[in-house]
Each structure stands twice: as structure tokens, then as C-alpha cells.
Chains A and B, each alone.
Chain A
């Protein structure tokens, strides 16, 4: 079946450090890939997405590239801020009306 594996946290970084959160997936066909972010006590917000191979999603300084050859969708940011502290979820959608398949989430803490 379809699955998403992302690096376990928690990840603690100093402000302005470089961030990478690894995400790999297993799926048949050509899924769409997503990164969602959850701030404390809130629901999930879409951070970025990519719907086909080699697409790069980007938003708020975060980037992720859909790599079909390595079945990966790693999240990166060049300089993190304290306000980026949250839980990040990698997810895939196999087709339009099916539930998202989520990774377990990675908690990021950025300290000043």
C-alpha cells in the first residue's frame, strides 16, 4: 500500500540555521505530494505541494522538490526563524478523492 516515511524528531535548531526534513514515499502510480504544518493547538495548514515529478513547491522560504527517481520530497529552508517552530507533516494523495496518507510528523523547535 501507499506510505510516507519522514525523519523522526524532535529537531532543534538555532535561529537562521538550515533546515532539512527528509520524506520518502511508497506509492503506485503518480501521487501528489504535500507538506502540511501544524502550529500548537491548531489544525493543519498546507505549506506547499507538488503534483508531478520534478515539480518544486515553495512557500514562505520553504521548498521541496518531487523526486521520482528517489521517491523523495524533502523539505528545506535556508534560514529558520523562531516562528517556524511547529510540527511538519509530509503527505501523499494517490488520487483525487482518496484520503491523504500522512507521515508521523516531525516536531521542529527553533531557539533564538
Chain B
């Protein structure tokens, strides 16, 4: 089946530092990848849509200069949280769509828990 990996699975960093999270589709090509943020006991909040080779489309209220997204290949997208602060602590989840499938199914990574001290 389609597998999406995320790295790291958890990270603790100091306030003011930047953190990069990788999202990889392991056995399929993903034209489109999505980045979500999830707070405890809440649903997923879509942050941005990332298309290979083009700029990401950010949802309203998401700072594109703070959450840098790069989708340089059909199997890799990265999210960089720049100058992280404690309020950025959250569970970040990526997902990918198989370019050959047409039903909109997304395959999710296992998530990355970010804690900013």
C-alpha cells in the first residue's frame, strides 16, 4: 500500500531556532502534499497545499514566512518552522495524494510532535 513517512517523529527545540520536518512518499509519486496542524483533542487544521515544483498555497491565517514549505520532488516535501516559539508547539501531520489516483484519497504520515521550550 501507499506509505508516507515523516521525520523526525518528535523534536524538542529552544525558542528562536528553526526546525525542518520532512514528508516522503515511499512507494508512489505525490503530485500534491498537504500539511496539517493538530492541537490536542481537536481535528486537523489544514495549513497549506504543496504542489511539486510550485509555490505552496497557504490557508488564511497561516504565516508563509514562518512556515516555509518546499516540494522539490514528487516524493519529498519539507516544512520548516522558522524562529519557533512555544505557541508553535503542536502535532504536525503531512499527507500525500497519488498522482495516478483520481478519488482524492490522501495517505497520511505518522506525524511529528514539536515542542518548543
Contact = CB atoms under 8 A, between A and B. Distances in A.
Contacts of B107: 46
B103 A42 contact: no
A44 B93 contact: yes
A4 to B, nearest CB: 10
A99 B111 contact: no
Contacts of A96: 97, 101-104
B77 interface: no
Interface in A2-52: 31-32, 34, 36, 41-46, 49, 51
B37 to A, nearest CB: 13
Interface string B91-104: 00101010001111
Contact of B108 (A36, A99, A103, A104): A36
Interface residues of A, number: 26
B104 A93 contact: yes
Contact of A107 (B4, B41, B108): B41
B95 to A, nearest CB: 8
Interface stretch (B43-51, B64-72, B78-86): B43-51
7 contacts: A32-B103, A93-B103, A93-B104, A97-B31, A99-B34, A99-B49, A105-B43
Given A98-B104, A99-B46, A102-B43, 12 more contacts: A32-B103, A34-B105, A42-B110, A43-B6, A44-B108, A93-B104, A95-B104, A96-B104, A97-B31, A97-B51, A97-B97, A104-B43
Interface of B: 4, 6, 31-32, 34, 41-44, 46, 49, 51, 93, 95, 97, 101-111, 113
